[in-house]
Chains A and B, each alone.
Chain A
Amino acid sequence: MADRMKIRATMAGDVAEIKVLMAHPMENGQRKDAGQTIPPHFIQNISVEVGGKMVIQGQTGTSVSRNPVFGFKVKDAKAGDKVVITWRDNKGDSRTDTTTIA
């Protein structure tokens, strides 16, 4: 089971600033441990919903670091809006976390 994300969402003027920390090993499939290749394990899809509206859908690959940080700026949002962030990795594991814009 994947670990919780840490999401911070605040209004900066009329733009919502969302920062999210994801706990993920992000193995790129090229590293070796005792001669054995460590199989790739990385986040492939990220989606961000603000106030019930899908605002970001993205694909990520193996060049993203372990425990990555993503930052987004979203227009047309207001304090109190619900932020739902989901990631799905190449092994089919996924995680969804929610917060409200402060």
Chain B
Amino acid sequence: MKNTISIGIALMLGVLPPLTFAQEKDATEAEFEKFRTEMEDSNPAELFEMKGEDIWNEKRGPKNVSLAESCDLGKGVGVVKGAYAAMPRYFADAGAVMDAERRIVWCMVEKQGFNFDDIAKKPFQGRNDTSAPDITNLVTYVAMHSKGMPFAVPLDDPKVKDAYLTGKEITKYRAGPYDFSCNTCHGVDGKRIRMQNLPNISTAAGAIKGVQGWPGYRMTGGIMLTHQWRINDCFRQQRFPEPRYASEVITDILTYMTGNANGQIYNGPGIKR
């Protein structure tokens, strides 16, 4: 009798904890989803979008032109509607495949005459900064105008395909003191860091989770961050050397991720914990 009880207890101990843990995890996840849906209704990202709109239309830089009258995001000069969801794409005038942020930086340098090094000095909003850099506001503005549209990275363009394949190779590259690759965490299903579930970006279902919600408003600190920042920070977390701002490496990875998410709906700038 005593034995049966102790076996019973042992079984309970052995079986129950993982079960409760899984349930708890799902419950937390569901609660968080609810919170996010509620917050998306009045996402402070809209404040950054408004600023971005002003900057987009304002005559700026040494050449005193606005981006609205000079910058082509692939849909014609000044057209922002649907541009974000169709990037990265190849730009013949720049001779390169570019994602939204890299393209806007290119426009600021080539069309408005800004100095690249000045933009690259402070490209992302820091923890204690009360305002975001112009480039972040611009990306948020452009991204907002692809809300509700399907991702359509032109992978049939050989140059874009090439960037896609390079991106795919980079995600396999293991290095750094931890001997990590992107795929160590993001190449298989069911991985997580602490309580954060990690998307498997090699699948369509995972890739959309990875690209959805960028650029995003981070509630911790109340700052606005772009997808370029996300990838940059991934390199930092891997203890890799961080790529220089608006690097081709990041465009390649974004081409791979966004390409995998093709056909799925972009919900616009997101909100993060």
Contacts and interface: CB of A to CB of B under 8 A. Distances in A.
Interface of A: 3-4, 6, 8, 19, 21, 23, 25-26, 31, 33, 38, 65-67, 69, 71
A69 B42 contact: yes
Nearest to B223: A66
B128 A3 contact: no
Given A3-B51, A67-B47, A19 B130 contact: no
A33 B50 contact: no
A71 B38 CA distance: 12
A76 to B, nearest CB: 24
A4 B50 contact: yes
Contacts of A38: 128
A67 to B, nearest CB: 4
Chain B interface size, as a band, is 10 to 19
A6 B128 contact: no
B51 to A, nearest CB: 7
5 nearest A-B pairs in the assembled complex, by CB-CB distance: A66-B222, A67-B44, A25-B130, A69-B42, A23-B47
A33 B44 contact: no
A69 B42 CA distance: 7
A38 B50 CA distance: 27
Question: Interface majority SS on A: helix, strand, loop or mixed?
Answer: loop
A6 B222 contact: no
A93 to B, nearest CB: 13
A17 B47 CA distance: 19
Interface in B15-60: 41-42, 44, 46-47, 50-51
A21 B222 contact: no
- By CB atoms of chain A within 10 A, which of B46, B51, B221 has the most? B46
B42 A3 contact: no
Contact of A69 (B44, B51, B130, B221): B44
Nearest to B217: A67
Interface string B219-241: 10110000000000000000000
A69 B222 CA distance: 12
Given A3-B51, A4-B50, A65-B222, A21 B130 contact: no
Nearest to A66: B222
